[in-house]
C-alpha cells in the first residue's frame, strides 16, 4: 500500500448524499453545524465512527514500504474510550480484507472543512454504498501560509462552505484524508462546484496539531505538494461593494497568525441573509456579473458585538431559520443566491495551483 496521486475520475452520474426522513430541527442543525466537530487529534474513520490516536504515532504511507503493518498495529481509542489495535477494530467491524489489500493505493487529499468531520464522512460513505467496509485515515496537519475561508456557495444542505485562500504568515489546522480508489471516487462526486487541485511549493506539516506546531514540535512528515478541493470561483469577499473587502475565515477552524476577519457559520449565514435580501428566484444572471448588482451593500462585517441587540439577543439572526429553510426547500431560489455570490467572488490567489479535475458546476446538487 502506497500513496498515489488522485487520478480516479468521479462517476458519470454522481450519487447524491441523501439523509432520509430528517426533521426540520435536524436539517437546520446540519446547515448551521458546518464544518462540524472533529477530534483534536488524528483518527481512523471506520464504518461511521472515529477511532483516535496520537499524531506522533502516524507513519506516512510513503514510508510503509508497501506494508500494512504500520496501519494495522496502530493503537486507537474508540468513541466509548476503549483502546485496541486497529486490526482488532477492523475485525470487530466486519471490514473485509479486500478493503485494505496490500496493493491498494491511498491518495492524500486535504480535508479543510467538513471532510474532516466524522459526521460528514458518515453521510458521504454510508455502508449501503460500501458493504465491505469503510476505512479512512484522517491525519491532523498544519498548512503554512494559507487559511480556510468561506467559498461563494450555499450548499444544497444549507451551509456556507469552505475553500482555501493564500494567506502569507498564517498557519491553519487542516487534515489529510487517505482515500482508496472507491472512496476517492465517492469523495469526488460529493464535491460539486469544486475543482480538484494540485498545489506545489507549499509547507504541509503532517501528523502535527496547531498547538504542537506553535510550541515548536516537529511533524511526522513535511510535504511541498498537496491535493485539495477548491471552489471553482475562488473566494467570497466581504463586505460587498467595498474596496476594502477581504476573504472571511471560518472561526471554527483554528489558525495562528490569522490575517482575515473570521465569522462563525451562523454569523456568515446572517451576513449572507442581509447581503442577498434583494435576490429573488427570478434573478438568475443572464450574463457574467449581472447578479452582482442584486447584492445589497453590506458595509461592515456582522461581528458578534455588532449583532447584539437589546437584551443580548442576536438581532440579525431573527428569522434566520426561515431563510435557511428557503435555501433547502426552494432550489431555484438557492441557485439565484449562489449565482449572485459567484458573480461577486474573487479568484484563488495562489499561483502554484493546477486544476486536475473540474467537478460539477457552481449549481451542482450532488450533496443533499
Residue 279 sits in the same domain as residue 150 = no
Q: What is the extent of the structural domain holding 282?
A: 259-343
Task: Report the C-alpha gap between 46 and 88 in whole angstroms.
Answer: 12
50 Cβ contact partners less than 8 Å away, ≥ 6 residues apart: 39, 43, 44, 79, 118, 138
Residue 210 sits in the same domain as residue 309 = no
Helical packing angle, 320-329 and 265-275, nearest 10°:
80
Q: Does 201 reside within a domain? A: yes
Residue 98 sits in the same domain as residue 164 = yes
Task: Please give the mean pLDDT across all residues of the chain.
Answer: 87
Higher model confidence: residue 18 or residue 85? 85
Q: Which of 42-51, 53-62, 81-90, 109-118 has the lowest mean pLDDT?
A: 53-62
pLDDT value at residue 239: 84
pLDDT value at residue 304: 38
Task: Report the C-alpha gap between 172 and 214 in whole angstroms.
Answer: 11
Q: 313-326, pLDDT tens digit by residue?
A: 445 667 899 999 99
Q: 72-88, pLDDT tens digit by residue?
A: 999 999 999 999 999 99
Per residue in 235-249, is it b (16+ CB within 10 Å) or e — as a string? bbbbbbeeeebbbbb
Please give the share of the chain, as a percent, with pLDDT higher than 70: 81
Q: Does 12 reside within a domain? A: no
Residue 200 sits in the same domain as residue 334 = no
Is the pLDDT score of 129 beyond 70? yes
Q: Does 2 reside within a domain? A: no
Is the pLDDT score of 102 beyond 90? no
Q: 282-305, pLDDT tens digit by residue?
A: 555 443 444 445 555 555 565 534
Grid coordinates belonging to 358: 473540474
Instruction: Please report where in the chains the cell 452520474 appears, as a residue.
Output: 13
Q: 201-213, pLDDT tens digit by residue?
A: 999 999 999 999 9
pLDDT value at residue 19: 74
Residue 33 sits in the same domain as residue 149 = yes
In whole angstroms, how far apart are CA 209 and each of 141, 165, 175, 288, 295?
Answer: 6, 20, 10, 42, 39
Nearest CA-CA partner of 238 in 113, 154, 151, 306: 151
> Which of the four pLDDT bands, split at 50, 70 and 90, describes residue 363?
confident
SS3 319: coil
**For residue 57, what is the DSSP state?**
G
pLDDT value at residue 6: 64
Residue 135 sits in the same domain as residue 46 = yes
Residue 274 sits in the same domain as residue 215 = no
Q: What angle do CA 195, 196, 199 make, to 5 degrees?
A: 110
* CATH code of the domain covering residue 168: 3.10.490.10
- The gap from C-alpha 162 to its chain's centroid, in whole angstroms, comes to 6
Name the helix (H) or strand (E) containing 300.
Answer: none
Domain count of the chain?
2
Higher model confidence: residue 167 or residue 285? 167
Q: 118-128, pLDDT tens digit by residue?
A: 999 999 999 99
Are the C-beta atoms of 58 and 71 separated by less than 8 Å? no
Q: Does 368 reside within a domain? A: no
Task: Report the C-alpha gap between 321 and 210 in whole angstroms.
Answer: 33
Cβ burial of 1 (10 Å; 0-12, 13-18, 19+) is buried
Residue 154 sits in the same domain as residue 117 = yes
Residue 235 sits in the same domain as residue 188 = yes
Are the C-beta atoms of 99 and 132 separated by less than 8 Å? yes
**For residue 352, what is the DSSP state?**
S
Around Cβ 45, how many Cβ atoms within 10 Å? 23
Q: Does 5 reside within a domain? A: no
How many distinct helices (H) and strands (E) make up the chain?
10, 15
> Which of the four pLDDT bands, split at 50, 70 and 90, describes residue 3?
low
Q: Does 127 reside within a domain? A: yes
Q: Which of 175-179, 282-286, 353-357 has the lowest mean pLDDT?
A: 282-286
Higher model confidence: residue 281 or residue 48? 48
Of the CA atoms within 13 Å of residue 322, those in its CB half-sphere come to: 5
Q: What is the DSSP string of 238-290?
A: ESTT-TT-EE-EETTS-EES--S-EE-HHHHHHHHHHHTTT--TT---SSTTT
Residue 234 sits in the same domain as residue 309 = no
Residue 216 sits in the same domain as residue 302 = no
Q: Which of 93-102, 219-228, 358-367 has the lowest mean pLDDT?
A: 358-367
Phi/psi region, residue 237 (left: phi>0; alpha: psi -120 to 50; beta: rest), is: beta
pLDDT value at residue 117: 98
Are the C-beta atoms of 225 and 198 separated by less than 8 Å? yes
> Which of the four pLDDT bands, split at 50, 70 and 90, describes residue 62?
confident
Is the pLDDT score of 309 beyond 50? no
Task: Report the C-alpha gap between 325 and 345 in whole angstroms.
Answer: 24
Q: Does 70 reside within a domain? A: yes
Are the C-beta atoms of 109 and 179 separated by less than 8 Å? yes
| Average pLDDT of span 82-97 | 96
pLDDT value at residue 299: 55
Residue 228 sits in the same domain as residue 313 = no
Q: What angle do CA 314, 320, 322 make, to 5 degrees?
A: 150
Q: Does 17 reside within a domain? A: no
Is the pLDDT score of 308 beyond 50? no
pLDDT value at residue 93: 96
Amino acid at each position: 500500500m502506497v500513496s498515489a496521486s488522485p487520478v480516479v475520475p468521479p462517476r458519470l452520474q454522481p450519487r447524491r448524499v441523501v439523509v432520509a426522513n430528517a426533521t426540520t430541527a435536524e436539517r437546520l442543525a446540519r446547515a448551521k453545524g458546518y464544518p462540524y466537530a472533529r477530534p483534536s487529534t488524528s483518527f481512523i474513520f471506520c464504518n461511521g465512527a472515529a477511532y483516535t490516536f496520537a499524531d506522533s504515532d502516524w507513519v506516512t504511507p510513503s514510508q510503509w514500504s508497501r506494508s500494512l503493518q504500520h496501519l494495522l498495529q496502530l493503537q486507537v481509542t474508540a468513541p466509548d474510550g476503549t483502546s485496541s489495535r486497529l486490526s482488532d477494530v477492523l475485525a470487530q467491524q466486519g471490514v473485509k480484507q479486500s478493503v485494505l489489500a496490500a496493493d491498494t493505493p491511498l491518495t492524500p487529499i486535504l480535508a479543510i472543512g467538513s471532510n474532516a468531520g466524522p459526521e460528514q464522512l458518515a453521510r458521504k460513505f454510508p455502508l449501503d454504498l460500501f458493504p465491505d467496509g469503510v476505512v479512512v485515515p484522517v491525519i491532523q496537519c498544519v498548512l503554512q501560509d494559507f487559511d480556510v475561508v468561506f467559498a461563494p456557495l450555499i450548499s444544497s444542505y444549507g451551509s456556507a462552505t469552505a475553500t482555501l485562500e493564500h494567506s502569507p504568515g498564517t498557519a491553519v489546522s487542516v487534515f489529510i484524508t487517505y482515500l482508496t480508489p472507491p472512496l476517492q471516487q465517492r469523495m469526488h462526486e460529493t464535491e460539486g462546484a469544486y475543482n480538484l487541485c494540485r498545489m506545489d511549493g507549499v509547507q504541509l506539516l503532517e501528523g502535527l496539531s496547531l498547538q504542537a506546531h506553535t510550541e515548536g514540535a516537529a511533524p511526522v512528515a513535511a510535504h511541498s505538494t498537496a491535493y485539495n478541493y477548491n471552489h471553482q470561483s475562488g473566494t467570497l469577499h466581504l463586505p460587498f461593494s467595498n474596496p476594502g473587502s477581504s476573504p472571511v475565515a471560518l472561526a471554527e477552524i483554528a489558525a495562528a497568525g490569522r490575517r482575515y476577519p473570521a465569522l462563525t457559520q451562523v454569523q456568515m449565514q446572517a451576513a449572507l441573509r442581509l447581503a442577498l435580501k434583494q435576490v429573488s428566484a427570478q434573478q438568475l444572471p443572464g450574463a457574467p456579473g449581472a447578479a452582482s448588482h442584486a447584492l445589497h451593500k453590506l458595509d461592515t462585517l456582522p461581528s458578534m458585538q455588532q449583532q447584539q441587540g437589546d437584551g443580548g439577543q442576536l438581532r440579525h439572526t431573527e428569522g434566520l431559520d426561515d431563510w435557511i429553510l428557503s435555501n433547502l426547500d426552494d432550489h431555484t431560489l438557492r441557485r439565484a443566491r449562489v449565482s449572485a455570490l459567484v458573480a461577486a467572488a474573487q479568484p484563488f490567489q495562489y499561483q502554484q495551483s493546477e486544476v486536475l479535475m473540474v467537478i460539477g458546476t457552481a449549481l451542482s446538487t450532488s450533496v443533499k
